């Protein structure tokens, strides 16, 4: 009995000590939640991305003392790529800090779908760089969604453009067979409508092939591919599905250089498990690829030299790490833009939404930020929440990613009608009155 | 002294078979309902601690209520009728998707026969209840094998339902009204002209459903039907010999259980998630529900609530606590620790009290009766 | 002729991948046979064994050991880890839960799953670790007879060989050794076995150890196939229908069940899948299992369930 009492006392002491030790929340801080997944089947891809995000926020705090003196306060919440956990994390973090969450970045198309309505009510922007719902490019309907730098419809178009280039022209697509091997979830299904439009326009035969989550078993899919003999296989996978696809492709002797992954299927963890078999595999780039740029030097100097890094120094510059810092940078720049209008203090989600919508990054500014060579100019507006539609293609040579193509720009004349159509449906279903973008300043 | 039924004389049969025969129980229940129906909404409306933000309502109470409802449904099948089911998640999905289809209008063209079945969009309440009925129908269908297959073999067989419906809602575009991503949005929640939007309104809506269905379940399990279920659970051959029809008893258990789970599924989709995909009702959900029922106590309605609360809140607590205490652990370590501690906790509870929290409560009640003079 | 060649290819591929499921299913059968525990943690044990092996291997190779020494030492290290796991599970979970009903035991193994997943990832990391113990390329047979030949994956053949050896080894162990006979006695009636002096907790430890070693074997094959990573735990769900078709208590049943499930689901996916949307193999295996159970409620080779009042 005595021992229990003593334990309770110790526990109480620890608790009260912890309460006392917690610093009173500083008022000059901007809170940014990070939804990440460092465990579970998708940890392999989730962790490097989260490391990039964390390192960049730390860099801003360490090097610049915050955004114009407003320190970034951030907290991670583990979602394990599960929608319900993501919703819980969002609710947990949305009102932390002096002004609540600046924006939310769920890193899961499923969580994006679940949060789209909630974030609009809570007035917190939802930034989905290179993923999320493709129709949310239309800012008139989706005021709070920002699928920055590229949606899956842009990705689909860029992939087909590259295929056409390899074949020698868009007219050569006629009669060709292109299959899409996709993760059977909202993420994997997003590109299908666009690919159907493209197939009709260019006259190629399009076959979607679903792979059940998490994608460890793909033998039947690849035996079907071996029999069907498509000219190209597009891979829309995530996590273990990507490396398994490459291995199975090798097993059925399907040429890896006829496989093109989306930008979420083109990072180091997707190819290294397949060893030599992955050589030749191609993937889209969400503008940036692997490698180190001036910003990495700063990260190494201010963060890793002080032992504050969140990963092994050797992993700086991996594809997903770079995507993490790019994503964090865009968020920080949006806050900076919003501060121009609303003052250099912690801002609310609504104010940062304005910052995101008016964010313009010129080549000069990108160079200043140390991202030269990773990004092309970005210009976000009310009617275009995507901001840029560029992409390149990279190829894995067995040791590293090599950029093998020039810049492509997704064909807006094809994407725009589809965006207008699908977002109008959403607006009708949810009774959203689209804003008039001409009147937005 | 507090919990003693001395002096409470029952003078009519009606009193004798009352649902809560002890006065203290009735008072406790009234207080609980009072807090749930009046206290919580008041605090939440005026944003008084701990309802300063929506977090408690949105992320704890709302899922708790809905999952408790689903756990009651699972408990009827597993706890009262003894049929182990790993397909609860699928029945939630059937409730959710049927309600979605009914609320957005059903159109089935029979091109070959030259006619079509068209049902105009139904009100949300009707859709949710009919969603439950669809789930009950599917429950009966997948319950038929239980007449031949028993125990763990049945458990694995119910996984057939789980994986089949996971697939159907993912792959058959008719169910999702041909949404390109396969993710669907709930319709606006209109009940008798009132629109349910804020967290408090959503909470109250779920509370009404849960209270009514829990009462229904409580009454069913102590009546003729419930006794048949329990007889089947304890030994089906013996039950058959004393004149209980296994076909009727087992299938009614499947039907009632699936109905409640289906309604819970529709609420989960419409009221909690708002936008969902089949992964929201995966095998993990089924296992979670089974855990709630076993940790809470097989064959106890109250236990379903406690089990749901424990399984839902324990991982969140374990995840939040280190950050709140300011322990310098990485997110990764916290999550791993959460897994380890949660797993150990489950094993510990199963070893210490295999009959769940409900058993602990009844032991507690017995002790209270004698307190403070246990002789 | 082409169509027949393709059918043969799918059939062979299916049978082979079925055997790979059997490797995981065998672990289930061992434990269920001896202690009536339906061990959901088998998938997590494969992950743990795989991680222990691959991490030890990487460390040894990095420190300049020749590959074969590293492989032997790595397997030894993983085996020790599995023995420790077996002891801990027996001592702290299964032992105290003796005589509880099957459902409670099943749920407790899910608790164990969480613990193993957490510990394994915490100690050995949650990245993906490539493992290359077997060749993974393919043979193309009868190229003269069928255009393109019939594809047979070398890894699958290795898997089948190993499964065969494993089953033969386990059969010998159960039939010929003293411990094996004691195991069967405990499986029949553990109280009776206890009263004739068989040390039950030792026997259960041996069983869990055997299941752990089977998991290690499965990890070498599956780790080569997928790379050692968290997703390996999902194998448990693929092994369940195999187990049910074969019968929960039969070792040869696990192999036969694997063959049926593998061939059935691959043929269904390739030939039936495209017309109804694809991705059907997950539930097809379970529906197959359901169909078998309706005819034989205890699986093909399971012990007949006799019910008395």
Domains of chain B by range and CATH?
A: 1-7+19-52 (no CATH), 53-370 (1.10.3470)
- The pLDDT assigned to C6 comes to 84
Is the Cβ–Cβ distance between C49 and C82 less than 8 Å? yes
Of the residues A217, A250, A314, the best mutation for testing chain C's interface (the one with the most C CB atoms within 10 Å of its CB) is: A217
Question: Which residues of chain A does B334 touch, with a Cβ-Cβ cutoff of 8 Å?
Answer: 78
Residue C305 CA, distance from chain mean position: 24
Which tokens hold the place of A210?
A: 């679903």
| C152 assigned to some structural domain | yes
CA distances from C162 to A198, A217, B284, C73, C266 (A): 48, 20, 32, 20, 22
State pLDDT tens for residues A48-100. 999 999 999 999 999 999 999 999 999 999 998 888 889 899 998 988 888 88
- Asked whether the beta carbons of residue C110 and residue B153 sit closer than 8 angstroms, the reply is no
Chain B, 246 to 285: residues with Cβ < 8 Å from chain C are 283
- The pLDDT assigned to B1 comes to 63
| C93 assigned to some structural domain | yes
Average confidence (pLDDT) over B250-274: 95
Question: Which residues of chain B does A189 touch, with a Cβ-Cβ cutoff of 8 Å?
Answer: 180-182
The answer, yes or no, to whether the previous bond of A374 is cis (omega within 30 of 0) is no
When CB atoms are compared, the residue of A223, A239, A240 closest to C270 is: A223
Helix or strand run (H / E) with residue A251 = helix A240-251
Is the Cβ–Cβ distance between A427 and A324 less than 8 Å? no
Which one-letter DSSP state was computed for residue A82? Answer: -
Which tokens hold the place of A56?
A: 């960049």
C-alpha A106/C-alpha A113 separation (Å) is: 10
Closest by CA position to B218, among listed B304, B309, B327: B304
Question: Which residues of chain A does B171 touch, with a Cβ-Cβ cutoff of 8 Å?
Answer: 184, 210
Question: Which residues of chain B does A91 touch, with a Cβ-Cβ cutoff of 8 Å?
Answer: 54-55, 58-59
| C2 assigned to some structural domain | yes
Average confidence (pLDDT) over C108-116: 94
Strands C138-141 and C150-153: antiparallel
- Asked whether the beta carbons of residue A78 and residue B59 sit closer than 8 angstroms, the reply is no
C-alpha A222/C-alpha C225 separation (Å) is: 14
Which residue shows structure tokens 């290690």?
C216
B14 touches chain C (CB under 8 A): no
Tell me what percent of chain C is helix, strand and coil, each rounded to the nearest 5: 75, 5, 20
Is the Cβ–Cβ distance between C126 and A44 less than 8 Å? yes
A40 touches chain C (CB under 8 A): yes
Q: Report chain B's C-alpha Rg in angstroms.
A: 22
Average confidence (pLDDT) over C55-62: 92
| Min Cα–Cα distance to chain C from B147, Å | 10
A428 touches chain C (CB under 8 A): no
| C252 assigned to some structural domain | no
- Give the nearest chain B residue to A425 (CA atoms): B179
- The pLDDT assigned to C304 comes to 78
Helices (H) and strands (E) in chain C, counts: 12, 2
- The pLDDT assigned to A41 comes to 85
- The pLDDT assigned to B240 comes to 92
Residue B345 predicted with pLDDT over 90: yes
Three-state DSSP state, A34? strand
Tell me what percent of the residues of chain B surpass a pLDDT of 70: 99
- Asked whether the beta carbons of residue C136 and residue A251 sit closer than 8 angstroms, the reply is yes
- The pLDDT assigned to B90 comes to 95
When CB atoms are compared, the residue of B153, B163, B346 closest to C293 is: B153
Average confidence (pLDDT) over A240-266: 91
- The pLDDT assigned to B344 comes to 94
Residue C233 predicted with pLDDT over 80: yes
**Pairs of residues, one from chain A and one from chain B, whose beta carbons lie less than 8 Å apart:** 102
Provide the mean pLDDT of chain A. Answer: 87
A311-315, B9-13, B22-26, C262-266 — most confident range: C262-266
Provide the mean pLDDT of chain B. Answer: 90
Residue C173 CA, distance from chain mean position: 18
- Give the nearest chain A residue to B321 (CA atoms): A15
C-alpha C34/C-alpha C183 separation (Å) is: 6
Of the residues C1, C62, C227, the best mutation for testing chain A's interface (the one with the most A CB atoms within 10 Å of its CB) is: C227
State pLDDT tens for residues C139-160. 887 777 777 778 888 888 899 9
Number of domains in chain C: 1
C-alpha B303/C-alpha B75 separation (Å) is: 9
State pLDDT tens for residues B325-336. 888 888 888 889
When CB atoms are compared, the residue of A50, A87, A190 closest to B181 is: A190
**pLDDT classification of A26: cutoffs 50, 70, 90:** low
What's the distance, Cα to Cα, between the start and end of chain A in Å? 69
- Asked whether the beta carbons of residue A227 and residue C238 sit closer than 8 angstroms, the reply is no
| C242 assigned to some structural domain | no
C-alpha C94/C-alpha C35 separation (Å) is: 9
CB atoms within 10 A of CB C125: 17
Chain C, 98 to 157: residues with Cβ < 8 Å from chain A are 121, 126-130, 132, 136-138, 140, 148, 151, 153, 155
Q: Where are the beta strands (DSSP E) in A124-249?
A: 126-127, 145-146, 177-183, 205-211, 232-236
A172 touches chain C (CB under 8 A): no
Which one-letter DSSP state was computed for residue B269? Answer: I
| C174 assigned to some structural domain | yes
State pLDDT tens for residues A114-161. 898 889 889 999 999 988 888 888 989 999 999 999 889 999 999 999
Question: Which residues of chain A does C14 touch, with a Cβ-Cβ cutoff of 8 Å?
Answer: 219-220
Closest by CA position to C265, among listed C246, C242, C240, C282: C282
State pLDDT tens for residues A367-406. 999 998 888 999 999 888 988 889 999 999 988 899 999 9
C-alpha A213/C-alpha A245 separation (Å) is: 13
**pLDDT classification of B274: cutoffs 50, 70, 90:** confident
| Min Cα–Cα distance to chain A from B20, Å | 36
- Asked whether the beta carbons of residue C227 and residue A240 sit closer than 8 angstroms, the reply is yes
Q: What is the pTM of this model?
A: 0.91
Is the Cβ–Cβ distance between A341 and A357 less than 8 Å? no
Instruction: For A338-397, give the DSSP string.
Output: HHHHH-SS---HHHHHHHHHT-EE-HHHHHHTT-BTTB--EE--SS-SS---EEEEEEE-
State pLDDT tens for residues C269-302. 888 888 887 788 888 999 999 999 999 888 888 8
- The pLDDT assigned to B59 comes to 86
- Asked whether the beta carbons of residue C104 and residue B235 sit closer than 8 angstroms, the reply is no
- Asked whether the beta carbons of residue C126 and residue A47 sit closer than 8 angstroms, the reply is yes
| Min Cα–Cα distance to chain B from A193, Å | 7
Is the Cβ–Cβ distance between B259 and B135 less than 8 Å? yes
- The pLDDT assigned to C26 comes to 92
- Give the nearest chain B residue to C98 (CA atoms): B351
C219 touches chain A (CB under 8 A): no
Strands B184-185 and B115-119: unpaired
Residue A289 predicted with pLDDT over 70: yes
| Min Cα–Cα distance to chain C from A180, Å | 13
Closest by CA position to B186, among listed A429, A161, A64, A422: A429
- Give the nearest chain A residue to B278 (CA atoms): A185
| C284 assigned to some structural domain | no
Instruction: For A232-247, give the DSSP string.
Output: EEEEE--THHHHHHHH
Domain span holding position C64 = 1-233
State pLDDT tens for residues A194-239. 999 999 999 999 999 999 888 888 888 998 898 888 999 999 999 8
Closest by CA position to A388, among listed A403, A371, A404: A371
| C176 assigned to some structural domain | yes
- Asked whether the beta carbons of residue A240 and residue C231 sit closer than 8 angstroms, the reply is yes
**What is the set of domains in chain A, with CATH numbers?**
27-150+290-389+419-430 (3.40.50.2300), 153-285 (3.40.50.2300)
Is the Cβ–Cβ distance between A263 and A287 less than 8 Å? no
C-alpha C207/C-alpha C195 separation (Å) is: 19
Question: Which residues of chain A does C13 touch, with a Cβ-Cβ cutoff of 8 Å?
Answer: 219-220, 223
């Amino acid at each position: 009995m005595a021992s229990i009492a003593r334990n309770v006392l110790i526990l109480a002491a620890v608790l009260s000590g912890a309460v006392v030790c917690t610093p009173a929340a500083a008022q000059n801080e901007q809170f940014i939640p990070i939804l990440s997944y460092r465990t579970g089947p998708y940890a392999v891809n989730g962790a490097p991305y989260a490391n990039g995000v964390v390192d960049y926020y730390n860099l801003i705090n360490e090097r610049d003392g915050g955004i114009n003196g407003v320190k970034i306060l951030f907290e991670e919440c583990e979602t394990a790529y599960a929608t319900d956990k993501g919703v819980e994390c969002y609710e947990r973090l949305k009102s932390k800090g002096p002004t609540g969450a600046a924006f939310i970045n769920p890193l899961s198309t499923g969580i994006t779908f679940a949060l789209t309505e909630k974030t609009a009510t809570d007035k917190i922007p939802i930034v989905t760089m290179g993923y999320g719902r493709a129709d949310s490019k239309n800012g008139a309907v989706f005021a709070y969604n920002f699928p920055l730098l590229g949606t899956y419809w842009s990705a689909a178009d860029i992939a087909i453009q590259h295929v056409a280039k390899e074949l020698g022209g868009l007219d050569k697509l006629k009669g060709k067979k292109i299959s899409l091997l996709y993760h059977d979830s909202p993420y994997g299904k997003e590109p299908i409508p666009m690919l159907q439009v493209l197939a009709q326009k260019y006259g190629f035969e399009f076959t979607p092939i679903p792979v059940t989550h998490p994608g460890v078993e793909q033998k039947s899919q690849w035996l079907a591919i071996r029999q069907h003999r498509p000219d190209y296989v597009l891979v829309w996978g995530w996590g273990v599905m990507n490396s398994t696809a490459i291995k199975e492709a090798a097993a059925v002797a399907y040429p890896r250089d006829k496989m093109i992954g989306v930008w979420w299927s083109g990072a180091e963890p997707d190819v290294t498990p397949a060893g030599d078999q992955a050589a030749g595999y191609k993937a889209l780039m969400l503008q940036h690829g692997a490698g180190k740029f001036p910003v990495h030097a700063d990260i190494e100097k201010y963060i890793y030299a002080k032992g504050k890094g969140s990963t092994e120094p050797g992993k700086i510059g991996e594809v997903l790490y770079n995507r993490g810092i790019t994503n964090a940078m865009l968020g920080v720049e949006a806050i900076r833009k919003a501060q121009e209008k609303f003052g250099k203090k912690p801002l609310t989600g609504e104010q940062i939404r304005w910052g995101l919508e008016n964010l313009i990054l010129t080549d000069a500014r990108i160079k200043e930020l140390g991202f030269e060579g990773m990004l092309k100019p970005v210009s976000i507006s009310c009617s275009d929440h995507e901001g840029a539609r560029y992409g390149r293609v990279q190829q894995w040579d067995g040791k590293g990613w090599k950029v093998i193509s020039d810049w492509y720009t997704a064909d807006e004349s094809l994407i725009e009608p589809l965006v207008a159509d699908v977002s109008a449906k959403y607006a009708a279903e949810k009774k959203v009155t689209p804003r008039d973008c001409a009147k937005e300043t | 002294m507090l919990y003693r039924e001395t002096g409470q004389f029952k003078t009519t049969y009606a009193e004798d078979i009352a649902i809560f025969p002890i006065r203290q129980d009735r008072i406790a229940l009234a207080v609980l309902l009072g807090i749930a129906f009046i206290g919580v909404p008041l605090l939440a409306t005026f944003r008084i601690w701990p309802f300063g933000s929506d977090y408690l309502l949105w992320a704890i109470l709302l899922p708790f209520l809905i999952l408790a409802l689903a756990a009651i449904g699972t408990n009827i099948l597993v706890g009262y009728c003894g049929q182990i089911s790993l397909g609860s998640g699928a029945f939630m999905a059937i409730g959710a998707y049927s309600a979605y289809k009914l609320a957005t209008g059903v159109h089935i063209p029979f091109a070959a026969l030259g006619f079509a079945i068209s049902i105009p969009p139904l009100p949300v309440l009707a859709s949710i209840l009919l969603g439950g009925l669809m789930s009950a129908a599917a429950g009966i269908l997948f319950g038929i094998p239980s007449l031949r297959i028993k125990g763990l073999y049945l458990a694995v067989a119910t996984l057939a339902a789980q994986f089949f419906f996971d697939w159907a809602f993912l792959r058959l575009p008719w169910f999702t009204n041909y949404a390109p991503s396969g993710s669907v949005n709930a319709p606006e929640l209109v009940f008798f002209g009132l629109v349910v939007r804020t967290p408090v309104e959503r909470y109250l809506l779920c509370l009404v459903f849960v209270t009514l269905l829990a009462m229904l379940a409580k009454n069913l399990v102590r009546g003729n039907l419930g006794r048949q279920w329990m007889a089947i659970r304890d030994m089906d051959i013996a039950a058959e010999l004393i004149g209980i029809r296994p076909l009727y008893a087992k299938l009614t258990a499947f039907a009632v259980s699936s109905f409640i789970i289906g309604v819970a599924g529709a609420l989960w989709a419409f009221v909690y998630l708002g936008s969902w995909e089949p992964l929201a009702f995966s095998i993990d959900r089924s296992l979670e529900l089974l855990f709630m029922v076993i940790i809470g106590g097989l064959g106890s309605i109250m236990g379903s609530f406690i089990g749901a609360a424990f399984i839902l809140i324990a991982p969140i607590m374990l995840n939040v606590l280190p950050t709140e205490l300011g322990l310098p652990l990485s997110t990764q370590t916290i999550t791993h620790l959460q897994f380890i501690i949660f797993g150990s906790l489950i094993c510990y509870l199963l070893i210490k009290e295999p009959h769940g929290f409900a058993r602990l409560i009844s032991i507690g009640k017995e002790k209270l009766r004698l307190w403070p003079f246990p002789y | 002729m082409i169509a027949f060649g393709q059918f043969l290819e799918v059939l062979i591929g299916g049978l082979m991948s079925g055997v790979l499921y059997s490797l995981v299913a065998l672990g289930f059968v061992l434990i269920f046979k001896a202690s009536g525990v339906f061990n959901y943690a088998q998938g997590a044990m494969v992950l743990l064994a795989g991680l222990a092996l691959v991490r030890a291997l990487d460390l040894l190779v990095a420190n300049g050991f020749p590959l074969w020494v590293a492989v032997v030492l790595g397997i030894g290290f993983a085996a020790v880890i599995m023995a420790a796991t077996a002891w801990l599970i027996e001592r702290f979970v299964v032992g105290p839960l003796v005589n509880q009903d099957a459902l409670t035991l099943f749920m407790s193994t899910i608790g164990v799953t969480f613990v193993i997943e957490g510990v394994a990832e915490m100690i050995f990391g949650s990245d993906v670790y490539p493992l290359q113990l077997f060749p993974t390329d393919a043979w193309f047979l009868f190229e003269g007879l069928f255009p393109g030949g019939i594809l047979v994956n070398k890894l699958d053949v290795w898997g089948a060989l190993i499964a065969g050896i494993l089953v033969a080894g386990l059969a010998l162990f159960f039939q010929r050794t003293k411990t094996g006979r004691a195991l069967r006695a405990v499986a029949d009636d553990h109280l009776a076995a206890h009263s004739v002096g068989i040390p039950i907790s030792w026997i259960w430890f041996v069983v869990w150890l055997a299941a752990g070693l089977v998991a290690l074997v499965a990890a070498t094959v599956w780790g080569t196939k997928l790379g050692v990573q968290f997703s390996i735990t999902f194998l448990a769900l693929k092994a369940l229908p195999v187990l049910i078709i074969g019968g929960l208590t039969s070792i040869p049943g696990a192999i036969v069940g694997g063959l049926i499930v593998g061939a059935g689901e691959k043929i269904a996916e390739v030939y039936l899948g495209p017309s109804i949307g694809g991705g059907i193999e997950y539930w097809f295996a379970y529906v197959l299992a359901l169909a078998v159970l309706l005819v034989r409620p205890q699986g093909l080779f399971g012990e007949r369930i006799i019910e008395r009042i």
